[in-house]
């Protein structure tokens, strides 16, 4: 009875499916924009709250940290509670977090609001992807995920421009007010258009696994974030790192030995899934790291306004908006290999170019390089997920999505902390020998990103084989869809015929 399928998701019409997809995108636009809008707002927030850059970056990396901590929990929530109620709860939670940040006057209250937003966003992101995969036919998923990528990747890039205009004209609190308005609209829309489209199960919540996962993800991220303020051999860095590593080992061991895993990590046996997850992790490190460093370069080193900082990244955002849907269509036709290599090579080239930028360089040169960066990101960011999920059985999609998003969100959490730490340490090393030590710190941060993007190139070459796309009428292989691949204990009761059919048909 512990993992018995209880109800089937409803089938929806094409019109209803489109309305659900639009509502998902509206909510994801608002949640995604906060990831980088705050990067533009950090300088005035630092001034108002009287905090340092190493403390302020936790408003972005701490948000991503709680995304990573709560995302494994979403695999349980998605399969345990009805779709409509759970989606509305996630949107409502995010709204509460936004309102707390709007009226925050201290760092701790601002951080509390960001934590609540992170929890709500973790659930929304996982639900969005699982819903899309379930309501659309397989042959359309690549294109649909490309359009979904507009909210997932373009909104965080456009938001610095919007945030800059709001900050200079009204103030940084207007960022949270604007996001609140959008989310309230999404919530009202959800009441009328959403359906319970996902199947639910009776599934016991494993408290021990949840605590271990929080220690694992939180410990590693906290350790890396503290490198910017403390030495590597300090207890502030080593203690959380050791706790995180040990907890990770115990978490993996427990998931492999309990009857019903809190998060079924056995999905890692699918090679494409594992390569896609690791590549997405590296990509998020680079995306969120550069998202916080470029505004620091423009505003603090070049002494430009927040509006100019936003305009610097606007051309890249428009490029990303164009390439995301096209990348989905290209994936549907030719597969992942070409996209993987093109995206990785261009990302490496743009990182190398940023390494050679000087303090006297025009900020519009940085803007031009960022166009290449955004193009390379748009080429792969959503195809990674679509490709990784291609061979995952439907009854494991919620677990696979939760784990995939956890890796992505950990990258988002570590990225700002890691590269701010690298920038800070590099600046300190040459503070007495170079004329512009801060610029050297920025250059070294992008040099580190170059090495990471080279790893992505190697993964594209050796980890992604070219395979022709299957025709729509071609049957799937047995190992992709067999119900024996799903961890459902035998009980005295049997699932409904619809449920049994669902387990055998991907």
User: Could you tell me if residue 251 is left (phi over 0), alpha (psi between -120 and 50 degrees) or otherwise beta?
Assistant: alpha
pLDDT of residue 376: 93
Q: What gap in Å lies between CA 48 and CA 466, rounded to an integer?
A: 53
Angstrom distances, CA of residue 10 to CA of 126, 202, 237, 395, 413: 19, 18, 49, 15, 35
The contacts found for 49-57 with CB under 8 angstroms, 24 or more apart, are 49/105, 49/106, 49/107, 49/110, 51/107, 53/296, 53/420, 53/424, 54/228, 54/229, 54/420, 54/421, 54/424, 55/107, 57/225, 57/228, 57/292, 57/416, 57/417, 57/420
What is the tens place of the pLDDT at every residue in 128-138?
888 888 888 87
What is the tens place of the pLDDT at every residue in 232-257?
778 878 888 899 899 999 999 998 88
Residues 150 and 223 in one domain: no
The residue ranking higher by pLDDT, 411 or 488, is 411
Answer yes or no: is 470 within a domain. no
Answer yes or no: is 5 within a domain. no
Residues 437 and 295 in one domain: yes
What is the tens place of the pLDDT at every residue in 385-441?
889 988 888 778 878 887 887 788 778 767 877 888 888 889 988 888 888 889 999
Q: What's the whole-number average pLDDT of the chain? A: 80
Closest residue by Cα to residue 144 from 22, 26, 266: 22
What is the tens place of the pLDDT at every residue in 187-244?
988 888 888 777 777 767 788 888 998 888 778 777 776 765 677 778 878 888 899 8
User: Is pLDDT of 478 > 50?
Assistant: no
Q: What gap in Å lies between CA 331 and CA 487, rounded to an integer?
A: 31
Instruction: State percent of the chain over pLDDT 90.
Output: 19
Residues 278 and 236 in one domain: no
- Among 261, 290, 308, the domain boundary falls at 261
Residue 150 belongs to domain with CATH number: 1.20.1250.20
Residues 188 and 238 in one domain: no
Answer yes or no: is 485 within a domain. yes
pLDDT of residue 409: 73
What is the tens place of the pLDDT at every residue in 93-111?
999 999 998 888 888 888 8
At 299, list the tokens.
Answer: 């505003």
Instruction: State percent of the chain over pLDDT 70.
Output: 84
Structural domain containing residue 119? 12-197+262-465+477-504
- Among 227, 246, 261, the domain boundary falls at 261
Answer yes or no: is 164 within a domain. yes
Helices 271-296 and 58-80: crossing angle in degrees, nearest 10, is: 150
- Do 196 and 10 meet the contact criterion of CB atoms below 8 Å apart? yes
Question: With a threshold of 0.75, does the pTM exceed it?
Answer: no
What is the tens place of the pLDDT at every residue in 154-172?
666 667 777 778 888 888 8
């Amino acid at each position: 009875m512990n993992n018995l399928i209880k109800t089937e998701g409803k089938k929806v019409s094409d019109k209803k499916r489109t309305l659900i997809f639009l509502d998902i995108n509206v909510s994801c636009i608002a949640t995604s924009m906060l990831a980088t809008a705050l990067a533009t707002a950090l300088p005035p927030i630092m001034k108002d709250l009287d905090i340092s850059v190493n403390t302020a970056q936790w408003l972005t990396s701490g948000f991503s940290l709680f995304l990573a901590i709560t995302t494994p929990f979403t695999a349980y929530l998605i399969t345990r509670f009805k779709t409509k109620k759970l989606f509305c709860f996630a949107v409502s939670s995010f709204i509460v977090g936004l309102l707390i940040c709007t009226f925050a006057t201290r760092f701790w209250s601002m951080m509390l609001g960001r934590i609540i937003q992170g929890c709500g966003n973790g659930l929304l992101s996982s639900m969005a992807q699982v819903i899309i995969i379930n309501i659309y036919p397989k042959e359309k998923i690549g294109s649909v995920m490309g359009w979904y990528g507009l909210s997932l990747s373009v909104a965080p890039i456009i938001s610095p421009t919007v945030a800059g205009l709001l900050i200079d004209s009204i103030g940084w609190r207007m960022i949270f007010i604007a996001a609140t308005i959008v989310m309230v609209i999404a919530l009202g829309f959800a009441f009328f258009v959403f359906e319970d489209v996902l199947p639910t199960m009776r599934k016991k919540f494993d408290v021990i696994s949840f605590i271990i996962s929080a220690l694992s993800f939180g410990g590693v991220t906290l350790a890396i974030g503290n490198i910017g303020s403390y030495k590597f051999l300090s207890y502030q860095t080593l203690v959380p790192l050791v706790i995180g590593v040990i907890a990770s080992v115990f978490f993996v061991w427990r998931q492999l030995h309990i009857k019903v895993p809190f998060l079924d990590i056995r999905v890692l046996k699918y090679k494409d899934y594992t390569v896609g997850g690791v590549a997405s992790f590296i990509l998020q490190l680079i995306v969120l790291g550069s998202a916080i460093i470029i505004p620091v370069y423009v505003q603090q080193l070049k002494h430009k306004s927040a509006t100019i900082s936003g305009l610097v990244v606007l051309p890249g955002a428009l490029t990303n908006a164009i390439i995301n849907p096209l990348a989905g269509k290209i994936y549907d036709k030719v597969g992942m290999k070409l996209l993987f290599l093109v995206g990785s090579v261009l990302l490496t080239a743009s990182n190398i170019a940023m390494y050679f930028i000087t303090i006297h360089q025009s900020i519009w040169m940085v803007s031009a390089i960022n166009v290449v960066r955004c193009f390379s990101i748009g080429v792969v960011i959503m195809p990674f997920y679509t490709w990784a999920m291609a061979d995952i059985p439907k009854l494991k999609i919620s677990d696979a999505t939760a784990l995939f998003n956890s890796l992505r969100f950990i990258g988002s959490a570590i990225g700002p902390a890691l590269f701010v730490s690298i920038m800070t340490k590099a600046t300190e090393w040459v503070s007495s020998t170079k004329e512009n030590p801060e610029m050297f710190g920025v250059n070294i941060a992008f040099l580190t990103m170059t090495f990471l993007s080279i790893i992505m190139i190697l993964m594209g070459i050796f980890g992604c084989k070219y395979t022709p796309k299957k025709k729509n009428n071609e049957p799937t292989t047995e190992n992709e869809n067999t119900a024996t691949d799903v961890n459902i204990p035998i009980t005295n009761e049997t699932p409904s015929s619809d449920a049994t059919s669902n387990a055998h048909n991907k």
